[in-house]
């Protein structure tokens, strides 16, 4: 089943996506030195969301050195605190793990820096609640009227990353870097992420491969932080390099044959070009000299091309093994979550006003 919408891409393939019932939600706020804004973000989270029966709020403090933890507690959120900074990718995987352990139906991920408006949460989660998508992500660029003011380098950097994801997935997205997102339980069970620095672009590559439905939801977002410097974009060069590394690794992991065939073609084309040059020279002069070097160069590149092609086939075989293992893990996790839900072990009810440390 494929939904037709300019703001939607992907296929709905899982029967569980169509289950209609009131869902539990976990709002996760990753923070690093957000003492001036985290309290307001927590307090502005809606107490009632259509289609949601219970709301839990969790702040994951990733090694803050200011009053972020105390401000989060005072605002009524549960807090998990890291002694050192582990990275946004790791904190996101921790959020998914917590949500699945508790049998949560919808995970909502929103930054604690105040750039996103928590009152937009009902709009963001609506596609998840209505079973229209597995992941709903806030989009700053899909609606031209809502494009925020931001430095040009940041604007074009975001557009460049969106183009890169489009080239890698074959799907069109407008904003792949926004940190305001909602995920269904199915998406959480299916996701396999490895990046430490960030998770934002990698989720697109991962979920598209698994044919899960992704929808972009236009919202109004502040183009710059109110206070401090973003830990993600404080160095544009570092951010670009780290992000591209994560995306390329993910692409190779899920498309090894396509990647290595392309590289193999370049090697083979180069090698055959040199060998062809040497062959033409031999036909004309009946001698390899003085271009015998072209034979060695051409032979080396040709050998590299064949070796790279073999690597691609081996990678494709390993991918089949990986996908089989992921399917087994998916069914095991699904069974565990269903069992937890049937035993009534979910923690329903808002934890706003209730604090907890781990």
> How do residues 159-206 score in pLDDT, each as one tens digit?
888 988 998 888 999 999 899 999 999 999 999 888 777 888 899 999
Same domain for 166 and 299?
A: no
112 and 223 housed in the same domain? yes
Are 248 and 266 part of one and the same domain? no
Residue 190 within a domain = yes
User: pLDDT tens per residue, the chain (358 residues)?
Assistant: 333 333 433 333 343 444 445 689 999 999 999 999 999 999 999 999 999 999 999 999 999 999 999 999 999 999 999 999 999 999 999 999 999 999 999 999 999 998 999 999 999 999 999 989 999 999 999 988 888 888 888 888 888 889 889 988 889 999 998 999 999 999 999 998 887 778 888 999 999 999 999 999 999 888 666 665 555 555 667 777 878 888 888 888 888 999 999 999 999 999 999 999 999 999 999 999 899 999 999 999 999 999 999 999 999 998 888 888 888 888 888 888 877 766 655 444 334 433 334 4
Question: Quick one: pLDDT at residue 357?
Answer: 43
Do 243 and 337 reside in the same domain of the chain?
A: no
Same structural domain for residues 203 and 335? no
Q: Report the DSSP pairing between strands 135-139 and 106-109.
A: unpaired
Task: Judge whether 104 and 26 are in contact, CB under 8 Å.
Answer: yes
For residue 347, being part of any structural domain is answered with: no
Residue 44 is encoded by which pair of tokens? 């502005």
Is 214 among the domain residues?
A: yes
Give the dihedral of Cα atoms 74, 80, 82, 85; nearest 10 deg.
-80
* Number of folded domains that form the chain: 2
Please check whether residue 1 lies inside any domain of the structure. Answer: no
Distances in Å between the Cα of 332 and the Cα atoms of 33, 74, 208, 224, 318 are 37, 38, 22, 42, 21
Containing structural domain, residue 268: 256-342
Please check whether residues 12 and 146 belong to one and the same domain: yes
pLDDT for position 41 = 96
Q: Is residue 178 a part of any domain in this protein?
A: yes
The verdict on 220 and 301 lying in the same domain is no
Does 81 reside within a domain?
yes
Q: Which of 17, 226, 205 is nearest to 113 (CA)?
A: 226
Q: How far apart are CA 56 and CA 10, in angstroms?
A: 29
Same domain, 98 and 193: yes
> Does residue 12 belong to any structural domain of this protein?
yes
Residues 195-232: tens digit of each pLDDT: 777 888 899 999 999 999 999 999 988 866 666 555 55
Phi-psi region of 39 (alpha: psi -120 to 50; beta: other; left: phi over 0): alpha
132 lies in the same domain as 184: yes
Do residues 163 and 278 both lie within one domain? no
- Boundary (domain end) residue, out of 202, 226, 254: 254
Instruction: From 234, 254, 274, give the residue that closes a domain.
Output: 254
Angle at 320 between CA 309 and CA 196, to 5 degrees: 90
CATH number of the domain that residue 136 is part of: 3.90.550.10
| Distance from chain centroid for Cα 65 | 27
Q: How far apart are the first and last CA of the chain?
A: 42
| Residue 348 counted as domain residue | no
Q: Return the pLDDT at 348.
A: 41
Closest CA to 112 of 71, 150, 65, 83: 71
Domain check: are 286 and 335 in the same one?
yes
The answer to whether residues 31 and 229 touch, using CB atoms and an 8 Å cutoff, is no
Interatomic CA distance for residues 297 and 241, integer angstroms: 32
| Chosen domain end from 254, 271, 293 | 254
Whether 124 and 175 map to the same domain: the answer is: yes
3-state secondary structure the chain: CECCCCCEECECCCHHHHCCCCEEEEEEEEECCCCCCHHHHHHCCCCCCCCEEEEEEEEEEECCCCCHHHHHHHCCCEEEEECCCCCHHHHHHHHHHHHHHCCCCEEEECCCCCCCCHHHHHHHHHHHHCCCCCEEEEECCCCHHHCCCCCHHHHHHHHHHHHHHHHHHCCCCCCCCCCCEEEEHHHHHHCCCCCCCCCHHHHHHHHHHCCCCEEEEECCCCCCCCCCCCCCCCCHHHHHHHHHHHHHHHHHHHCHHHHHHHHHHHHHHHHHHHHHHHHHHHHHHCCCCCCHHHHHHHHHHHHHHHHHHHHHHHHHHHHHHHHHHHHHHHHHHHHHHHHHHHCCCCCCCCCCCCCCEC
């Amino acid at each position: 089943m494929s939904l037709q919408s300019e703001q939607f891409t992907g296929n709905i393939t899982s029967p569980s996506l169509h289950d209609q019932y009131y869902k539990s939600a976990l709002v996760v706020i990753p923070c690093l030195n957000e003492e001036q804004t985290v309290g307001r973000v927590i307090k502005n989270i809606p107490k009632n969301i259509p289609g949601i029966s219970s709301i839990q709020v969790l702040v994951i403090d990733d090694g803050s050195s200011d009053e972020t933890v105390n401000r989060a507690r005072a605002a009524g959120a549960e807090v998990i605190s890291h002694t050192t900074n582990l990275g946004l990718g790791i904190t996101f995987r921790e959020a998914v793990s917590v949500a699945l352990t508790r049998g949560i139906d919808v995970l909502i991920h929103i930054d604690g820096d105040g750039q996103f408006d928590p009152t937009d949460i009902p709009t963001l989660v609506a596609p998840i609640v209505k079973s229209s998508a597995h992941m709903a992500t806030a989009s700053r660029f899909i609606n031209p009227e809502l494009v925020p003011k931001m430095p040009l380098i940041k604007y074009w950097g975001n557009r460049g990353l969106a183009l890169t994801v489009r080239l890698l997935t074959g799907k069109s997205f407008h904003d792949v870097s926004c940190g305001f997102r909602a995920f269904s339980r199915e998406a959480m069970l299916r996701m396999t992420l490895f990046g430490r620095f960030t998770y934002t672009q990698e989720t697109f590559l991962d979920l598209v491969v698994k044919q899960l439905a992704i929808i972009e939801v236009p919202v109004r977002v502040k183009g710059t932080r109110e206070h401090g410097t973003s830990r993600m974009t404080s160095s544009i060069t570092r951010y670009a390099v780290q992000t591209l590394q994560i995306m390329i690794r993910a692409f190779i992991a899920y498309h090894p044959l396509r990647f290595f065939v392309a590289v193999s073609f370049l090697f083979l084309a180069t090698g055959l070009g040199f060998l062809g040059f040497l062959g033409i020279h031999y036909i004309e002069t009946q001698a390899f000299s003085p271009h015998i070097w072209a034979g060695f160069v051409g032979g080396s590149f040709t050998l590299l091309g064949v070796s790279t092609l073999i690597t691609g086939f081996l990678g494709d075989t390993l991918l089949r093994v990986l996908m089989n293992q992921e399917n087994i893990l998916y069914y095991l996790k699904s069974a565990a979550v269903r069992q937890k839900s049937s035993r009534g072990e979910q923690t329903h009810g808002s934890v706003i006003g209730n604090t907890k440390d781990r």
